[in-house]
Structure 1
Amino acid sequence: MHRLNEDISSRKLEALVAYLDHKTLNAAADALNTSAVSVHRALHSLEDSVRCSLFRHEGRGLVPTEAAHTLAGVARDVLGRLDRGIEATRIAAGYASDRLKIGSLYSLTSHVLPELIKSMNQRRPNLQCELILGKSRHELLPRLKQGQIDAVFAEILPGDSDLVSLPMFEDESYFAAPLSSPLAAHETIVLSEHVGEKLVTLAEGPFSAVHLAERFKDFHPCVIMEVQDIFTQMNLVSSGVACAVVPGRIRPMYQHLVRFIPFAESEGASQTIGLSVMKARERDPNLLALSSVARIFVRERESRAPRI
C-alpha cells in the first residue's frame, strides 16, 4: 500500500483550496478563520511535502501553477470524502450531524414543508436543513436509500421493509378546471362523462398520463401537454389552457385562480402522504426530532379539522 507523506495534512490542503478560491492570502485566512501568515506558511510547507513548485512569485503575490490547480482538484475530492466519511461515522455512532437533507415532492412546498422546517429551526436552531425537491416518490426514495438525503416527505406505500414511515394526512384528488370553463360550475365530476376533455398532465408520478389512464379507465382525455412540475401545470390551468387531475394539497395556493372539483364518490382516490426514513437510521437524533415535529403537525392539523 502506498503511504501518504505524513507532512501532507488536511489543514494544508484546506489552505491550498481556500487560496485558489479566494485569490489572496488575507481572504483565504478569513475563510479559514486564521492568519495570512499561517496560510502562507502552510502553502510553502505543502510545496516541500509534494516536492514540486506550486506557485510562481510575482512581486509579493503567489500565482498558482498548473500543478497547484491539479492538487487543488484532488484536495477538494479528498476533503469532501473525508467530511462525508466523518459524518457517516458520527451517524453510525449515534451522533447527529449538523445538517439534515430533506427530500420532498414539489407540491408539499406550498404549505406543509415551510411549517415543518420552521418548527425544526425552532427546535434545533443550530441544525441546517437543506431541501431537495423531486417530482415523485420514485425519484426521491432511491436517493434516500443511497444516503444522499436523510428523510422524504412523499406518498407512503406499503411493503418496503427498509423504511419506517409516519402517515401525516390523506390527500384526495381533484379535477382542476379554469374559472372560465363550463366545468367550473360542477359540484362534482364523473370523468367518464367528459371524454376528449383537454388535459395537461405531469410527466412522472401518479398524476402522469400513464397513471391516470390506469386509475380512470373510462376517461379518455386529449392530453395536450406533459410538464415537469405541478406549478407549471397549475399555471397552465389557471391561464385557461386545459384542465388537470391534481392532488388536493395544492389547493391553498391556487383556489382563487382555479376551480377544484371533487370527484364523484365512485371515482375518488386518495394518497397517504407522510414522512419516510431508513429503518437503520430511525434512532438518529435529528430524525427523531423531525418525526416529533411531524407528529405535532398531524395533531394540529386534526385539531383544526371541522367536527362532523
Structure 2
Amino acid sequence: MDIDDELTLKKIQIFLAFMRCGNLSRTAAEMQMSNVSIHKAIHSLENALRCPLFKHEGRSLIPLKSAYILEEYSQKLMQDLVTSINKTREAAGFAAKVLHLGSLYSLTVNTIPNVISRLKLRRGELDIQLLLSSNLDLVKKLKSTELDAIIVALNETTEDVDFETLPIFEDNIYLAVNKNLPLAQMQKIDLSTLKHETFLTLSKGFATRSDSDVMFEKAGINPEVFLQVSDIFTLISMVNAGVGLALLPGRISTIYESSVKLIPLQAPYQIKQKIGLVFLRSKERDPNLLALVAECRMFAKQYLNT
C-alpha cells in the first residue's frame, strides 16, 4: 500500500496531541499553533487515510473507533521512531552513553581529573572512557572517530580543517634536574651550555618531545640521549633517580617536587605549549561534546584566576 504524501509525522503529532488534550484550544496551546491550523491538520489527516476519524457535534470533534485505533498504533510508531533516532545518533557517536576521551599522560596530574569530575556532575549518566597516549596517536584516533574528543597540545598535528579546537591554557617548558646536582642551584639556565649533558626524552609523537627537539635545535646542540620512554611519569622518575636531565612542562611540577627541580630556560630557548580541546567539527552539536566544551571553558577560567 502506497502512503499518501499528505500523511506526515507532524500531522500524526497534532492528532496525538488532540486525542490527549480533548479539544482544539488546548491542543493549539500545546502545539503553539492556531485552532484553525489544528483543525486543518486533522481534516487533512482524514483525507490522507481516506476514512473519518471524528464525528462533529456542534463545534466539537468526537473520536470514532478509528481514531482510537490510530492513536494506539501511532503512539507505538512515535516511540519506535524516537528509539530509532536515538540508536542512529548513538551509532554515529552523538549523545551516546559513552564518551571516548583521549589525553596526554601529563594532563592527568590536574587538568583531566578536574574536567572529568565536573563533567560527571553535569552528565551523571555518561560513562567516560579515557585513553592516554601521544599527541600524534590521539590525533589519528580522533580523525578515525575512535575517540570523540582529545585534550592535547595544540600544534601542527591538530591543524586540520575537520577539527574544532578550544584553547584551555599555556604551559612553559623547563629543564628538570635532580636537586642533588650542581645544576639545581641555577635560577635560570642557558640550554646551549648543556651540550655534554645526558638527556632523557619521550618517544617521537609526543608533544613535549617535539618541543624539546625545537629547543635543542635553537640551542645548536645535538644532545646525547641516554633513554627514550613512552610516558612522562617514567621520564620524571628517571630524572628523580639521577639518570639524566629532561625538558618537561611545568604542569608536572608536583611530581617528585622534593627531589626534582624545574629550572626556567633563558631566552631564546623558552617555549610554551598550548593545551586545548580538539573534536570533529561534524560533531559540534553533540550534547556530550557541548557539555565537555562548557567544562573545559570553566577550567580555563579557573586556570587563569590561579
- The CA RMSD measured in Å over matched residues stands at 2.1
Following the alignment from structure 2 to structure 1, what is the Cα–Cα distance between the partners of residues 176 and 92?
A: 49
Q: Deviations over 1:180-207 (max 9, x none)?
A: 1111000011111121101111112243
Following the alignment from structure 2 to structure 1, what is the Cα–Cα distance between the partners of residues 302 and 208?
A: 28
Is the 2:211–2:271 contact (alpha carbons within 8 Å) kept by the matching residues of 1?
no
| Alignment correspondent of 1:275 | 277
Specify the SS of the correspondent of 1:252: coil
Choose 1 or 2 for highest CA Rg: 2
| Alignment correspondent of 2:101 | 102
Which amino acid counterpart does residue 116 of structure 1 have in structure 2? Answer: V
Rate the CA distance shift 1:111–1:267 in 2: closer, same or farther, 3 A: same
Matched, 1:177 2:181: no
Aligned counterpart for 1:302 among listed residues 297, 301, 304: 304
Q: Count residues in correspondence.
A: 218
Aligned counterpart for 2:141 among listed residues 137, 140, 143: 143
Specify the SS of the correspondent of 1:200: strand
Which amino acid counterpart does residue 164 of structure 2 have in structure 1? Answer: V
| Alignment correspondent of 1:199 | 199
Which amino acid counterpart does residue 286 of structure 1 have in structure 2? Answer: N
* Poorly superposed stretches of 4+, deviation over 6 Å: 85-88
Question: Once the 2 structures are TM-superposed, how far is the Cα of residue 220 of structure 1 from its aligned partner?
Answer: 3.0
Mark the runs of 5 or more structure 1 residues left unpaired by the alignment: 1-84
In percent, how many aligned pairs have the same letter? Answer: 37
Question: Once the 2 structures are TM-superposed, how far is the Cα of residue 233 of structure 1 from its aligned partner?
Answer: 0.5
Aligned residue runs from structure 1 range 153-164, under 5 A:
153-157=151-155, 159-164=159-164
| Alignment correspondent of 1:115 | 114
Question: Once the 2 structures are TM-superposed, how far is the Cα of residue 173 of structure 1 from its aligned partner?
Answer: 0.4
Question: Once the 2 structures are TM-superposed, how far is the Cα of residue 211 of structure 1 from its aligned partner?
Answer: 5.9
Question: Once the 2 structures are TM-superposed, how far is the Cα of residue 151 of structure 1 from its aligned partner?
Answer: 0.4
Question: Once the 2 structures are TM-superposed, how far is the Cα of residue 157 of structure 1 from its aligned partner?
Answer: 2.7
| Alignment correspondent of 2:20 | none
Rate the CA distance shift 1:197–1:113 in 2: closer, same or farther, 3 A: same
Rate the CA distance shift 1:104–1:112 in 2: closer, same or farther, 3 A: same
| Alignment correspondent of 2:81 | none
Rate the CA distance shift 1:176–1:141 in 2: closer, same or farther, 3 A: same
| Alignment correspondent of 2:268 | 266
Rate the CA distance shift 1:86–1:144 in 2: closer, same or farther, 3 A: farther
| Alignment correspondent of 1:131 | 130
Rate the CA distance shift 1:219–1:123 in 2: closer, same or farther, 3 A: same
| Alignment correspondent of 1:56 | none
Specify the SS of the correspondent of 1:240: coil
| Alignment correspondent of 2:251 | 249
